[in-house]
Amino acid sequence: MKKIKSIEDYHKEYKKSIEQPETFWSEIAENFIWKKKWDSVLKWDFNNYNVNWFLNGKLNITENCLDRHLSSKGNQPAIIWEPNDPKEKALTLTYKELHEKVCSFANVLKNNGCKKGDRICIYMPMVPELAIAVLACARIGAIHSVVFGGFSFNSLADRIHDADCNLVITSDGAYRGAKDIPLKSVVDEALKTCPTVKKVIVLRRTNSKVEMQNGRDVWWNDEIKKVNADCPAETMDAEDMLFILYTSGSTGKPKGVVHTCGGYMVYTGYTFKNVFQYNDGEIYWCTADVGWITGHSYLVYGPLLNGATTLMFEGIPTWPDAGRFWEVIDKHKVNIFYTAPTAIRSLEAMGLDFVKPHKLNSLRVLGTVGEPINAEAWNWYNENIGKNNCPIVDTWWQTETGGIMISPIAGITKTKPGFATLPLPGVQPVLLDESGKELQGNNVDGRLCMKFPWPGIIRTTYKNHERCKEVYFSTFKGYYFTGDGCRRDEDGYYRITGRVDDVIKVSGHLLGTAEIENAINEHADIVESAVVGFPHDIKGWGIYAYVICDRKRDDVEELKKEIIGTVNKFMGPIAKPDKIQIVTGLPKTRSGKIMRRILRKVAEGDVNNLGDTSTLLDPAVVEEIVKGAVK
Ligand code: 7RM
């Protein structure tokens, strides 16, 4: 696949992608291996949402990730795995070894009753077997649904239910920093309410004690002994589902975002190569967990499609100390490093003493993803990690877009701190005002929408196409609505200003406020709650919860601890409220809708500016809330 070579080349490619999108994308798709070529490139309708790319094309994404590299790169590292504990040995899997392991595990799945079209839930730590499990599903045409290990049993059960999974792949436990997290027992708890699950495959990682349920639970290591490494890749239609990945929305129930085989492959393969300007032989490290879309697209699929070496890290940035990332970069001579602004800010706060001992001279390109990066963190990253010598790609995209949409091309697009800069070829962003009118020209602020499909676009929300239409294609007729606010500046550069709906990005994790409220309401004494975000120096956004308690509790501090414990238990530690305020009522309109605008202002500490409160059912509650606000 050819790479964009210069800014002129970018503009030329961009123009072509707009004027002749079908020619543009079919030329890119030709760089992949298809079992049968597509009949037509694109069929689409944003009004009654339906999109198909590479119609009737047949392929298997794992042949493109693995088999095709065997002759040229069989002995080159595909995955370098760095464990949580620096004292444990790192592991390298060559393309040949990875291929073998994926085929073997695909046979394990078959032996355990899995077939094309089945949904398989993967709930695992960041170990090579996680990537192997994902690829093994794709090998046999089973649909993977990876659930992030930081979610707890209730969230896990919701996701298993919604996808009707019949098999779960997990491990005894997970190491994260100094902690040892019991994954299998979370699965056991979740499965009490998931009768569709017939088998659980358990990998040994921490050697912690687990309960194995007879007839249901089997050990990965036992099963792998029963198979050989011969597993032909299932033939998939371009529009067959590749995976489901749940993402939070405005309601309590997460949405199962569906991506399909052909378009997702072409889009992640193309964007990986171009955005990072990947050169053969380079070591690439994306710090995202495979439980999130960034891990799917830019730790597993994008790099492997390009025959790259992808580094997978099991641990956390701050253990054993805040120099861990920088140590790993030197140890494995990482060339391209892709992480989240929240990680950068937290490491910046720890001070330069953790950076200084490390050379970092292998680095060529830096990237960020997941949330807006403030200029200060951008500059710190640029100076102290990139040594003013590595282009930074601030990549804007979403679970629903499958891959990067707005981003600099490394070393080619002139960057500006805080700006995702320009749309990639094939991406047609528009900014709309509240009435849905397209804002023309530069120096405008609006809602970010897309007016034309790209191959990685969401196809549906699992088993609920109406919801997909409603959430993404009904706010502005004829457009895909991202849910983000955005500015286009005087240079035509895009700067994402943040969400305009009821989801918040907390330490780079997208969380629905309604889902957090549901978890809080599991506490026996809580009758109602309302969660909003407030700006947080490190996390980007923090979680502020207003709760109504149905009996008088004098031990407020104890109550708050219990609430945090409840959220931890039902949803997981990523959703823990930072601030909790006990209130006797919530500001509601006469129709019973909570006025979150007011709650956000109070959480931000901006109480002199609450706007019109005259439509409230009971304006007195606002006074009480302002008085009791948690600083
Ligand atoms: C990849 C990912 C999507 C939301 C998105 C934005 C925010 C992501 C950036 C960003 C500013 C960025 N998928 N977002 N990247 N905001 N600059 N470079 O994060 O589905 O988990 O979240 O994340 O609000 O809508 S996601």
What's the gap in Å between 397 CA and the centre of ligand 1? 5
What's the gap in Å between 423 CA and the centre of ligand 1? 14
Q: How far apart are CA 163 and CA 245, in angstroms?
A: 10
What CA–CA distances, in Å, run from 422 to 188, 269, 494, 501? 46, 19, 6, 24
What CA–CA distances, in Å, run from 502 to 222, 240, 483, 621? 45, 31, 9, 22
**pLDDT tier, 251 (very low <50, low <70, confident <90, very high otherwise):** confident
What's the gap in Å between 297 CA and the centre of ligand 1? 14
Convert 18-77 into a string of H (helix), E (strand) and C (coil): HHCHHHHHHHHHCCCCCCECCCEEEEEECCCCEEEEEECCEECHHHHHCHHHHHHHCCCE
Tell which atom from ligand 1 comes closest to the C-alpha of 510.
21
Tell me the three state secondary structure of residue 268.
helix
For residues 129 and 618, which has the higher predicted lDDT (pLDDT)? 129
**pLDDT tier, 39 (very low <50, low <70, confident <90, very high otherwise):** very high
What's the gap in Å between 404 CA and the centre of ligand 1? 10
Overall average pLDDT of the 472-495 stretch: 98
Q: What is the CATH number of domain 507-630?
A: 3.30.300.30
Does the structure show a pLDDT above 90 at 482?
yes
Q: How far apart are CA 270 and CA 456, in angstroms?
A: 10
Give the torsion sign (CA, 432, 494, 264, 147). negative
pLDDT in tens, 283-300: 999 999 999 999 999 999
Does the structure show a pLDDT above 90 at 613?
no
pLDDT in tens, 375-422: 999 999 999 999 999 999 999 999 999 999 999 999 999 999 999 999
Tell which atom from ligand 1 comes closest to the C-alpha of 406.
18
Residue nearest to atom 5 of ligand 1 (CA): 398
pLDDT at 422: 98
What CA–CA distances, in Å, run from 170 to 125, 173, 182, 220, 263? 8, 8, 10, 9, 29
Residue nearest to atom 6 of ligand 1 (CA): 371
**pLDDT tier, 620 (very low <50, low <70, confident <90, very high otherwise):** confident
pLDDT at 589: 87
Any residues with CB less than 8 A from the CB of 306 and at least 6 apart, and which?
1, 269, 272, 273, 278
Does the structure show a pLDDT above 90 at 181?
yes
pLDDT at 480: 98
Residue 316 and residue 395 in contact, taking contact as beta carbons nearer than 8 Å: no
Q: How far apart are CA 205 and CA 91, in angstroms?
A: 14
Overall average pLDDT of the 158-178 stretch: 97
Residue (of 133, 119, 184, 189) closest to 157 by Cα position: 189
Does the structure show a pLDDT above 90 at 490?
yes
Angle 235-239-242 (CA atoms, 0-180°, nearest 5)?
70
pLDDT at 263: 98
pLDDT at 135: 99
Query: Considering the chain, what percentage of its residues have pLDDT values greater than 90?
Result: 95
Tell which atom from ligand 1 comes closest to the C-alpha of 247.
20
Tell which atom from ligand 1 comes closest to the C-alpha of 505.
23
Count CA within 13 A, CB hemisphere, residue 231: 29
What CA–CA distances, in Å, run from 95 to 130, 137, 391? 16, 18, 29
pLDDT in tens, 305-338: 999 999 999 999 999 999 999 999 999 999 999 9
Does the structure show a pLDDT above 90 at 249?
no
CATH 3.30.300.30 domain span(s) along the chain: 507-630
Q: How far apart are CA 581 and CA 624, in angstroms?
A: 11
Convert 301-367 into a string of H (helix), E (strand) and C (coil): HHHHHCCCEEEEECCCCCCCCCCHHHHHHHHHCCCEEEECHHHHHHHHHHCHHHCCCCCCCCCCEEE
pLDDT in tens, 571-583: 999 999 999 999 9
What's the gap in Å between 294 CA and the centre of ligand 1? 10
**pLDDT tier, 250 (very low <50, low <70, confident <90, very high otherwise):** confident
Angle 447-21-257 (CA atoms, 0-180°, nearest 5)?
50
Does the structure show a pLDDT above 90 at 75?
yes
Q: How far apart are CA 571 and CA 323, in angstroms?
A: 30
pLDDT in tens, 102-153: 999 999 999 999 999 999 999 999 999 999 999 999 999 999 999 999 999 9
What's the gap in Å between 415 CA and the centre of ligand 1? 18
State the residue for tokens 């009768």. Answer: 195
What's the gap in Å between 503 CA and the centre of ligand 1? 11
Overall average pLDDT of the 536-564 stretch: 95
Does the structure show a pLDDT above 90 at 509?
yes
Phi and psi at 320, nearest 5°, equal -60, -25
Q: How far apart are CA 277 and CA 404, in angstroms?
A: 13
What's the gap in Å between 370 CA and the centre of ligand 1? 4
Mutate to test the pocket of ligand 1, among 148, 257, 398, 404 (most ligand atoms within 8 A of CB): 398
Overall average pLDDT of the 241-267 stretch: 95
Does the structure show a pLDDT above 90 at 462?
yes
Mutate to test the pocket of ligand 1, among 255, 271, 344, 397 (most ligand atoms within 8 A of CB): 397
pLDDT at 346: 96
What's the gap in Å between 176 CA and the centre of ligand 1? 24
**pLDDT tier, 57 (very low <50, low <70, confident <90, very high otherwise):** very high
Does the structure show a pLDDT above 90 at 524?
yes
pLDDT at 221: 98
What global pTM score does this model have?
0.96
Q: How far apart are CA 176 and CA 347, in angstroms?
A: 17
Residue (of 377, 372, 388) closest to 346 by Cα position: 377
Does the structure show a pLDDT above 90 at 252?
no
**pLDDT tier, 237 (very low <50, low <70, confident <90, very high otherwise):** very high
CATH 3.40.50.12780 domain span(s) along the chain: 7-486
Does the structure show a pLDDT above 90 at 537?
yes
Mutate to test the pocket of ligand 1, among 510, 511, 539, 541 (most ligand atoms within 8 A of CB): 510
What's the gap in Å between 403 CA and the centre of ligand 1? 11
Taken as a whole, the chain contains a residue count of 631
Class of 7-486 per CATH? Answer: alpha beta
Ligand 1 lining (C-beta closer than 6 Å): 247, 292-294, 369-372, 394-399, 420, 482-484, 496, 499, 505, 510
Q: Furthest-apart CA pair in the chain: how many Å?
A: 73
Tell which atom from ligand 1 comes closest to the C-alpha of 508.
19
